[in-house]
C-alpha cells in the first residue's frame, strides 16, 4: 500500500517506524523545511523516497493510498480535507482538528469520498489499555461509578522555543489539547462516550509566554450516570511524573499508570477471573518516551480496515469526541458555568486573549 507522511517533526519517527513495521510502501515524505525531510529520511534509511515541500504536488504525483498528517495541529483540517479530496485514506495526528466544524467537515468528506479517517490516539492500543477495555466490554466492572484521568507532566521553555506554534490558540491550544488529550480520550471512551455536562477551571500558572492554559481541572457528568474527573498539567516539577487512568465500578477497580498509562498498577475484580499479579506483570510496557508503542498497532488496524472495508478502531468520530471534550472544558472555564454536550460550534479560536 502506497504511503506518504506529511510533517517530519518530533513525532514523525513514530510514524515512519509504524509504516516500516507494517510493510507499507513509503513513497514520499513532505515538510515545508527540506532539511528536516533530509535528516529524517537519512536517519531511517529512506533516502530513496520522493521528497516534497508542497503536499499538494505530492498528492498529484504520488497518489498515495494512505497519508499520515503530523503537522502543527492547526493545519490538520486543511491538509486532511485536501488529502481526502484526492482520494487518500488519512491518519491524522491528535487532535483531529481545532474546531467542531473542521472535525465534522473531515468526517463528512471521508464519507463522501469513501475513504477512511483515523484519529491518531495511539494510547488506545497500549497493552494495559486494551486489557482494561476487554474487562469493560465483558461487563466485569458492573455499574460504573466514576473514572479519573490525571496527566502530571512537565514541559519547560525549551520545548516551546523549539516549536513556537505550541501553546498558541491558532495552531495548538494548551496542555489539555496537546499533551492531555490522549488520556481525556481514554476517560471518555471508557466511561461510555456520552456526556451530559462538563464543569471546569483552566489557568496559566508556570508558562506566561504561552497563549493557552498549562493547568486544567474538570468534572464530567456522563449520560450513563457515572462521573469523570480530569486533572491535566505541564507544570509538574521537575519532570513528567505520571499519566494515570482510574476506573471504579460496582465490581471492579482499576488503575493504569506509568508515564502514559503503560502499566496496570491496580487490578481488583469481584469475579476473580484473573490473577492481579499476573495481569500487572503481563500488560506492562516500558516505552522510551511518553509516545509509547501505539503507532504500530494503530497503523496495523488502519491497514486492515482499508483492506476489509470497515471503520478503523479510532475513527474520525472518536477524534471529534476527544476534541469536543477539551473544547467543552475550555468553554466551561471561560464562561464560569457548566456546559452541556453536544457542542454544535466551538473552536480554540474562541478563547483568544483568555490569559492575556
Ligand X SMILES: NC(=O)c1ccc[n+]([C@@H]2O[C@H](COP(=O)([O-])OP(=O)(O)OC[C@H]3O[C@@H](n4cnc5c(N)ncnc54)[C@H](O)[C@@H]3O)[C@@H](O)[C@H]2O)c1
HSE value, Cβ hemisphere, 13 Å, CA-based, for 101: 8
Q: Which residues contact 84 (CB under 8 A, 6 or more apart)?
A: 90, 106, 109, 110, 113, 115, 117
Residue with cell 507544570: 235
Peptide bond into 347 cis (omega under 30): no
CB of 234 to ligand X, least distance (A): 13
From CA 172, how far away is CA 234, in angstroms rounded?
14
Angle at CA of residue 23, ends 22 and 27, nearest 5°:
120
Is 307 in contact with 285 (CB distance < 8 Å)? no
- Give φ, ψ of 132 to 5 degrees: -65, -45
Q: CB count, 10 Å around CB of 286?
A: 10
Q: Which three cell numbers stand for residue 98?
A: 481545532
Note the residues at the interface with ligand X (CB under 6 A).
Answer: 6-11, 30-33, 36, 55, 70-73, 75, 93-94, 120, 122, 163, 178, 291
Nearer to ligand X, 161 or 250 (CB): 161
Residue nearest to ligand X according to CB distances in the complex = 9
CB of 16 to ligand X, least distance (A): 12
CB of 36 to ligand X, least distance (A): 5
Nearer to ligand X, 77 or 115 (CB): 77
Nearer to ligand X, 58 or 116 (CB): 58
From CA 202, how far away is CA 333, in angstroms rounded?
6
Nearer to ligand X, 140 or 150 (CB): 150
CB of 93 to ligand X, least distance (A): 4
Is 303 in contact with 321 (CB distance < 8 Å)? no
CB of 314 to ligand X, least distance (A): 11
Q: Which residues contact 288 (CB under 8 A, 6 or more apart)?
A: none
CB of 141 to ligand X, least distance (A): 27
CB of 9 to ligand X, least distance (A): 2
CB of 282 to ligand X, least distance (A): 24
Nearer to ligand X, 24 or 298 (CB): 298
Q: Which residues contact 148 (CB under 8 A, 6 or more apart)?
A: 187, 228, 229, 230, 231, 244, 245, 246
From CA 334, how far away is CA 201, in angstroms rounded?
8
- CA torsion through residues 172, 100, 189, 292, sign: negative
Nearer to ligand X, 74 or 252 (CB): 74
Nearer to ligand X, 222 or 330 (CB): 330
Nearer to ligand X, 1 or 36 (CB): 36
Amino acid at each position: 500500500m502506497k504511503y506518504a507522511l506529511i510533517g517530519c517533526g518530533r513525532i514523525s519517527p513514530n510514524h515512519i517506524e509504524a509504516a516500516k513495521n507494517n510493510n507499507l510502501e513509503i513513497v514520499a515524505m513532505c515538510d515545508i523545511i527540506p532539511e528536516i525531510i533530509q535528516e529524517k529520511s537519512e536517519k531511517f534509511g529512506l533516502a530513496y523516497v520522493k521528497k516534497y515541500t508542497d503536499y499538494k504536488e505530492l498528492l498529484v504525483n504520488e497518489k498515495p493510498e494512505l497519508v499520515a498528517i503530523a503537522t502543527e495541529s492547526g493545519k490538520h483540517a486543511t491538509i486532511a480535507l485536501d488529502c481526502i479530496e484526492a482520494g487518500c485514506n488519512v491518519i491524522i495526528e491528535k487532535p483531529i482538528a481545532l474546531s467542531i466544524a473542521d472535525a465534522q467537515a473531515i468526517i463528512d468528506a471521508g464519507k463522501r469520498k469513501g475513504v477512511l479517517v483515523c484519529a491518531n490516539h495511539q494510547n488506545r492500543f497500549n497493552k494495559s489499555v486494551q486489557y482494561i477495555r476487554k474487562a469493560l466490554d465483558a461487563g466485569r466492572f458492573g455499574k460504573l461509578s466514576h473514572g479519573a484521568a490525571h496527566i502530571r507532566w512537565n514541559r519547560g521553555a525549551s520545548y516551546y522555543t523549539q516549536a513556537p506554534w505550541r501553546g498558541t490558540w491558532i495552531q495548538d491550544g494548551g496542555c489539555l489539547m496537546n499533551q492531555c488529550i490522549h488520556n481525556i480520550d481514554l476517560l471518555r471512551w471508557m466511561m461510555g462516550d456520552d456526556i451530559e455536562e462538563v464543569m471546569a477551571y483552566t489557568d496559566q500558572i508556570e508558562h506566561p509566554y504561552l497563549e493557552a492554559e498549562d493547568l486544567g481541572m474538570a468534572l464530567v457528568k456522563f449520560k450513563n450516570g457515572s462521573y469523570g474527573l480530569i486533572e491535566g498539567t505541564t507544570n509538574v516539577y521537575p519532570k513528567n511524573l505520571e499519566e494515570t487512568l482510574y476506573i471504579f465500578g460496582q465490581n471492579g477497580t482499576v488503575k493504569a499508570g506509568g508515564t502514559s498509562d503503560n502499566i496496570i498498577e491496580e487490578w481488583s475484580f469481584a469475579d476473580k477471573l484473573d490473577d492481579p499479579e499476573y495481569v500487572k506483570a503481563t500488560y506492562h510496557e516500558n516505552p522510551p518516551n511518553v509516545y509509547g508503542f501505539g503507532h504500530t498497532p494503530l497503523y496495523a488496524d488502519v491497514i486492515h480496515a482499508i483492506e476489509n472495508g470497515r471503520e478503523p478502531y479510532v475513527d474520525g468520530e472518536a477524534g471529534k469526541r476527544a476534541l469536543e471534550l477539551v473544547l467543552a472544558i475550555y468553554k466551561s472555564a471561560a464562561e464560569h458555568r457548566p456546559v452541556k454536550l453536544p457542542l454544535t460550534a466551538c473552536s480554540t479560536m474562541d478563547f483568544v486573549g483568555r490569559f492575556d
